[in-house]
Amino acid sequence: MINLEKNADGFTISIGGNTVLSHSAARPFMYAGCGNELVDMYRGNFQIEDRIVQRIGLPDWHFPDLPTGSLGGGRPGSGTARIDAAGILVVFSAAGKFGISCVLAEEDGRLVLRFKCDDTAADTSNRYWFRLPAQPDERVYGGGEQFSHFDLRGRRFPLWSSEQGVGRNKRTRITFEADVNDRCGGDYWWTFFPQPTLVSSRHYYVHADCPAYAAFDFREPSFHELEFWALPDSLTFGSAPSMLELVQDVSALLGRQPSLPDWVHDGVILGIQGGTETCQSRLDRARQRGVPVSGIWAQDWEGIRMTGFGQRLMWNWEWDPQRYPGLPEAIKRWKKEGVRFLGYANPYVAAGKPLFEEAAAKGFLAKDACGKDYLVDFGEFDAGIPDFTNPAAYDWYKGVIRRNLVDFGLAGWMADFGEYLPTDAVLFDGRPAMLAHNEWPAIWARINREAVEEAGLMDEVTFFMRAGFTGSQKWCPLMWAGDQNVDWSEDDGIGSVIPAALSLAMCGHGLHHSDIGGYTTLYSMKRTKELFLRWAEFAAFTPMMRSHEGNRPGDNWQFDSDDATLDDLARIGRVFVTLKAYRKAVVDECA
């Protein structure tokens, strides 16, 4: 039951006896104002500054559709009303200005607040703050995928999709070197997958329907403050007797992942690069040592380029027959042996390559302010961004995924990136890129999902992503934790994967894994044998067990660097396979 209780100074709203909203003249629920942001993107790393010009509390309130009385527009009096599907309109303002209407309604047992500005507020406001009552001992989770902290209390978390940073802790040498050399050190809140959802230990959650830049501030003992750079369409509150039921309701609201193909559970997916013969020889050696192998993941199936960062890919999303001769036949042969072949794709096309030229000729790329195709620096090479707000471009790119990956025979792929939409890009549908930026990874997830669904292969083909936003839950089958350092650190190494998986699960996305051994190999970091094996042991208890060579394969310990490593991987892989029935049951709970 959702109750609104009014007193002489304000009102509170509770769900099942749990107070989730409180408003009074002295402590307003809402604030409105104006700010000027400065956004600088360098290779997916964002520096965002904001100068607040005005911030005004909205202490005044009234219920215009109710008669004067216990819940009328006047301040005197008190009373209680039940909020139902019909809804109750309340208007917040400050001395007659900044009028923001809010309809309070019950929808499927949840409290939903839907907002609308009057003309004055719409013309003068682009910043909005909401304060929710808190308790000193309350714990808060969510915020999307948070790598450094599971309990968010005591900190402020900007919510913006970006590179996760290298090091992600300003007190460490690695972060310092990354900042000095490449402007990419990051900080504790940097994430590929932000989401404006908080889950409280008081057994309630709130989710904002708003793609704009946001920041959730949990530093105060008596309130949580949610900041948005656009007025949310709605805030949805839910409550449940237990945390399990609470998270189930979050996932019911936002959507649930499909189950994984059965073959994923049958062994290790080996990250291999170098060509068809290399894949075959390394597969043979692994199987000879007893490693249960369910797949080969060869991200270089479409070609490579060398950069200062290390080995990168061609970004043209079609088979490279020079690097992988005879691959179609090999894929069929491996599949008969119980080994699937997986590849790689992302939502960008490298300048000068055939897919880029085709997209440019068709007018399918996002534009800059001068109307030219927007070229983004991805680290010593440029790429264009297919404009998914253009239905024709959306369908074209989905067709690329369908023809070049699904129909080619790939059983899965890393659907990488999604975070690089520049905030000054000009999009086909006219929406500001600042509002489209966070949503881009979820749109990218939908493209991949539809390509697989339309091929009728959801039971056979899967993909995994690092970037996301609200909606990714129902489109993306599996997340991976992104580009961890090849080290033990809690902020960006193996230790960061656990809070990342848990925080994302609290937001409704429960299927998560990571690169065995990590990825980022820079600033003297090199993967050791012990790190690889410990990571493999950890991965045996996740939905997918998949290795990665890293961006500098020659510097890192690999699954076949010696026979002892292969023997240990065989043992760990057998644990993974033995848990198949249990793991499938748990995975199905997320679906």
Q: Please report the beta strands in 435-585, taking only residues with DSSP state E, as ranges in sequence order.
A: 462-465, 478-480, 512-513, 515-516, 546-547
Distance from C-alpha of 480 to C-alpha of 492, rounded to nearest angstrom: 14
Mean pLDDT of 449-459: 98
Predicted confidence (pLDDT) per residue in 421-452, tens digit: 999 999 999 999 999 999 999 999 999 999 99
Token readout for 388 is: 């998914």
| pLDDT (average), residues 293-318 | 96
**Mean pLDDT, all residues of the chain:** 97
Domains located in the chain, CATH noted: 2-156+196-254 (2.70.98), 258-344+514-591 (3.20.20.80)
For residue 310, what are the β-bridge partners?
307
Phi-psi group of 325: left, alpha or beta (phi > 0 → left; psi -120 to 50 → alpha; rest → beta): beta
Which one-letter DSSP state was computed for residue 259?
P
pLDDT at 75: 46
**What is the pLDDT confidence band of residue 209, given thresholds at 50, 70 and 90?**
very high
Average pLDDT, stretch 137-157? 99
What are the tens digits of pLDDT across the range 544-579?
Answer: 999 999 999 999 999 999 999 999 999 999 999 999
Beta strands 382-384 and 349-350 are antiparallel
pLDDT higher than 80, residue 67: no
Report whether pLDDT(22) > 70.
Answer: yes
Mean pLDDT of 69-79: 55
- 3-state SS, 354-389, equals HHHHHHHHCCCECECCCCCECEEECCCCEEECECCC
- C-alpha distances in angstroms, 555 versus 111, 140, 181, 215? 53, 40, 20, 38
End-to-end, the C-alpha distance of the chain in Å comes to 28
Phi, psi at residue 553, to the nearest 5°? -55, -35
Q: What pLDDT is recorded for position 66?
A: 75
Tokens linked to 245: 């039921």
- Kindly state the tokens that stand for 75: 């301040």
Between the alpha carbon of residue 361 and those of residues 31, 71, 352, 356, 546, the distances in Å are 47, 61, 12, 8, 38
Residues composing the chain: 591
What is the distance between the alpha carbons of residues 281 and 291, in angstroms, rounded to a whole number?
Answer: 14
Each residue of 462-505: pLDDT tens digit? 999 999 999 999 999 999 999 999 999 999 999 999 999 999 99
Long-range contacts of 370-379 (CB under 8 A, 24+ apart): 371/426, 374/422, 374/425, 374/426, 375/351, 376/348, 376/420, 376/422, 377/42, 377/43, 378/43, 378/44, 378/315, 378/348, 378/420, 379/43, 379/307, 379/308, 379/309, 379/312
pLDDT value for 202: 98
Query: Which residues are tagged catalytic?
Result: 416, 419, 483
In angstroms, the CA 322 to CA 303 distance is 8
- Per-residue pLDDT at 76: 43
What pLDDT does residue 119 have?
81
- To the nearest whole percent, how much of the chain has pLDDT over 90? 94
Query: 351 vs 40, 423, 433, CA distance in Å?
Result: 22, 20, 21
pLDDT at 560: 99
pLDDT band at 74 (very low <50, low <70, confident <90, very high): very low
pLDDT in tens, 253-303: 999 999 999 999 999 999 999 999 999 999 999 999 999 999 999 999 999
What pLDDT, on the 0 to 100 scale, is given for residue 68? Answer: 54
Write out the H or E segment, with its range, that includes residue 206.
strand 204-209
- pLDDT value at 147 more than 70: yes
pLDDT in tens, 80-130: 899 999 999 999 999 988 899 999 999 999 999 999 998 877 788 999 999
- Local confidence band at 180 (pLDDT 50, 70, 90 cut-offs): very high
Separation of alpha carbons 511 and 542, rounded Å: 8
- Quickly state the pLDDT bin for 8 (edges 50, 70, 90): confident
What are the residues facing 386 on neighbouring strands? 365
In this structure, what DSSP letter does residue 191 have?
A: B
